[in-house]
Every structure is written in structure tokens, then in C-alpha cells.
Structure 1
Amino acid sequence: MTLWLAIPLALLLLGFVLILSSSIDFHFRLCRLGKDDRVELDVRTLFGWIRFHYELPKLVYEGIERGVKVKLEESGVAPIRSDKEDNEENIDKEKVSRWLDDIKKVLKATYGFKKWFQATLAHVKITKLDWSTDFSLGDAAGTATAAGALWGMKWCVIGWISQWVKLESSPRLFVKPVFQDDLSFSTELVCTGKISVAYGLYAGVLLLIRAFRAEGGLKQWKQLLGSKHHKSFAETEG
């Protein structure tokens, strides 16, 4: 009887250790070629058993009032999910304003949220960061001057990022000035990184504790997440 109880407990312990030893891996790619934009994000965890793919194949600026029109394509493979969702919406001033309000609510509902966020980012490891840009301003002198400024801007961005996350390999930055009479611009950013599942769970517990310490924090989080779920369900039904 003891042996039959020990075997499932040992298997359960082994599974738990495997889960904690895995990582959440992500691959982000942003590409702009002329007027064509594409943003892709792949996330996988538990040694690839669970993975999701998010893609923005279209970004269309429709003016100040209507904002930017985006189409999100989502797919995933997981034990509890295997579906595809396509959502098309406009990101306008009203939506940005709602996002800012949500951020304020999160800060209010979480004790020391900024400190928690910085500590979590510090455990994110960037294993690959490539950023290439080709452009022409239509004037050789102006293009050459802008190339130097672009180099400086890119290194400033990398320096700022390195203050928040760990760069495990040196970033590869490329700036290629194209000397031609026509205006042109293309850029590609590829970023690969990971964070351990163990720390992800630990960060989640800390976030729950900090929400509990804030006055009415858990209630505000529940209302915020509830409103997001209700809105998503309403859009699906529509």
C-alpha cells in the first residue's frame, strides 16, 4: 500500500520539479518595409507543450480621430485551448485614454507596483537582440548625417533597455544609409528572451500579496479583470 502511494507522489513531485525548471520563452519580431508593417510574438512554455502565436499583419493609420487600425491574429496550442481568434479594431484617442485609466487603477490597486515590476523585469533574460535599418532621405548629405544620429539613438535605446533587463549577448545593430533620390525606409527588430517559470509563479504570488496590502486592491483587480472579460465576451458575441 505504501509503494502504491509513493509512486504517484514521486511522479507528482517529478512533474512539479520539471514545471519549475522550465522557462517562458518569447520571440518578438517587428518589421516595416515601405508601407507594410508586421508585428509577431511567439510565446511558449513547459518545454513547448504550451505555445501561442500573436500577429499584427496590418497597421493602418486612419487619421487623428480614428487612430490606427490593427488586426490581431491569435493562435495557440495548449491542453486547455486550441483555437484561432482574429480581432480587428481601431486604436484611437479614446482607447488610449482608457488604457491610461487602467494603468492608474493598477497602480492604485497594487502596493509598490513599480518596485514589483522592476524586480520582475530584472529576471527577464534577452538572449538575442538584432535591429537593422535601411533608409534614404533623398539627399546624400542629409542621409549620411541622419545615419550618425540614428546610430546614437539606437545605442541610447539599448542602454535604457539594459537598465531593466539582462542582456545575455551583445546586441547587433545595423544602420545602412541608401544613397538614392527617393525616400525609403525599412527596419527589422528581432528580440528573443526568457524568464523562468519558477520566478514567474513567485512574481504572481508577490503581486497577489501586494494587491492584498493595498486598500481595496483585490476588489479593484477583480473589477478590472471582470470588465475586460465581459468586454471581450461581448465583442465575440457581436
Structure 2
Amino acid sequence: MPFAWFWFSVAAIILLTAVCSSDVVVRGRYRRVGADDEAELEIRALYGLIRRRSVVKAFDWSWSGTEFLVKRGQQGVAHIDRDDVERFFRNTRVALRLTFHLTDVVKRLTARMRLTEWEWHTVIGLRDAFWTAMLTGAAWSLQAGLTGFLSHRLRLCAKPVLRVEPLFGSSVFKTNLTFTARIRAGLLLLAGLSMFGRILRVRGGIEGWVKLLTKPDKAEPQRT
């Protein structure tokens, strides 16, 4: 019997090591051609055994009165009103209050994330050459600025590929952004354990997080 437990322990250690050594891969792509959009986000874990992919096509953003409309082609229209925005920020403040120095966990985790792909190609064209040049410079500044910001937050493991091409004499706008980020599953596990310990350091942290995660999305109307 002790011999069987020995091999069971060895197998458990090997399995845990393999899981912690695996990468959680996040790959995203956003493309806009004229007024058409397409976004894709894929998450893979455990050597591809766990895979989640989400695709949104032909969505448009517009503000109507006090409501934010997210149109997703044939998938319907999602409404985000002012209450939804306020609820998001309110829940964020509550999460920060219920966790001891939550921002430290986030900063340390993002610092361990590896950006292995970052490609951004934009084509801009207006019939006016002056405004084409102006918008081309603005687009280049935006791409370079965002890339520089990410380089200070993540570990760049591949050279970023940035291109902005002016197309004089034509009215066109195309942009295509592709990125791949990786992080060890073991680091996510350690971050989860660290976050749990930080929640325990706050009085009422566990009860507060349970209420935060289980309460309904929409607030109930107040009774008069």
C-alpha cells in the first residue's frame, strides 16, 4: 500500500509540474475596413486542451441619449446605459476595498506576461493630400505610443511590427491589429493564492467577494 501511494504522489507531482509549466495563451485580432469591424479573442490553456474562442462581427458603437448601443450585426443589440457604467466602476472600487493592495497583484502578474506577437498595420487615405499626411502621422503616433506603453508593462519577446501607409487620392481606412500574449499557468495559480491571502487580510473580505460575485447584474428598482 505505501508503495502505491509513493507512485501516486510521484504522478501527482509530475502532473502538477506539467500544468504549472504550461502556458496560458491569449491571442486577439481586430480588423476594421471602412465601417465594418471584426474582432476575435482566443484563450488556450493546458497545451490546447482548454480552448475558448469568441468572435464579434460588424459591430458599431453609438451614443443615443443616455444609452450606449453595441450593435453586433445579426446577433442583436446590447444596451449599456449609464447605470451599467456606474455599476462597473462601483464594483471595481468594492473589489479594491475588499482586497489588500489588489493593484500590486495585477502589476506583478502583467509584468510576468510575455508579448510574443504584436503586429499593427493601418492604411489611411483621403482625397486631400494634406489631411492624409496629417492623419497618417497621428495614426503612427498612436501606434508607437501604445506600443511603448505596453513595453513598460509587459515583457516584449518579439519585435513589434508597425506599419502606417498613406494612400493619397482615395478615401479609405483599414486597420488590422494582431497580438499574442503568454503567461505560465503556475504564475496564475500563485497570483490566485496571493489574492486569496490578501482577501483574508481584509475584514469581511470573503463575504464581500461572495456578495459581489453572486449578486444580480441589474440592480433591483427601488421601492417608493
TM-score higher than 0.5 here?
Answer: yes
Name the CA distance, whole Å, in 1 between partners of 2:130 and 2:62: 33
One-letter code aligned to 2:165: K
SS at match of 1:47: coil
> Residue in 2 aligned with 1:215?
203
Write the mapping of 1:1-238 to structure 2, written as runs, cut at 5 A.
1-65=1-65, 66-71=67-72, 89-182=78-171, 184-227=172-215, 230-231=216-217
1:54 partner SS: strand
Cα drift, residue 100 of structure 1: 1.2
In the alignment, the residues of structure 1 paired with residue 110 and residue 76 of structure 2 have an alpha-carbon distance, to the nearest angstrom, of 29
Aligned-residue offset at 1:145 = 2.4
Q: TM-score, normalised by structure 1?
A: 0.83
Contact 1:131–1:174 (8 Å) recurs in 2? yes
Structure 1 residue runs of 5 or longer lacking an equivalent are 73-85, 233-238
Alpha-carbon shift at residue 155 of structure 1 (Å): 1.1
Identical counterparts, % of pairs: 26
Distance 2:23 2:100 in 1: 27
Contact 1:56–1:70 (CA under 8 A) maintained in structure 2: no
Shift of 1:88: 5.5
Size of the aligned set, in residue pairs, is 216
Partner Cα separation in structure 2 for residue 187 and residue 215 of structure 1: 48
Deviation at residue 216 of structure 1 after TM alignment: 2.3
Give me the TM-score of the superposition, normalised by structure 2. 0.88
When structure 1 is superposed on structure 2, of 144-153 and 159-168 the one drifting more is 144-153
Which letter maps to 2:206?
L
Deviation at 1:70, TM superposition (A): 4.5
CA apart distance, 1:36: 1.0
Which consecutive unaligned segments of at least 5 residues does structure 2 have? 219-224
- Distance in 2 (CA, whole Å) between partners of 1:138 and 1:171 is 30
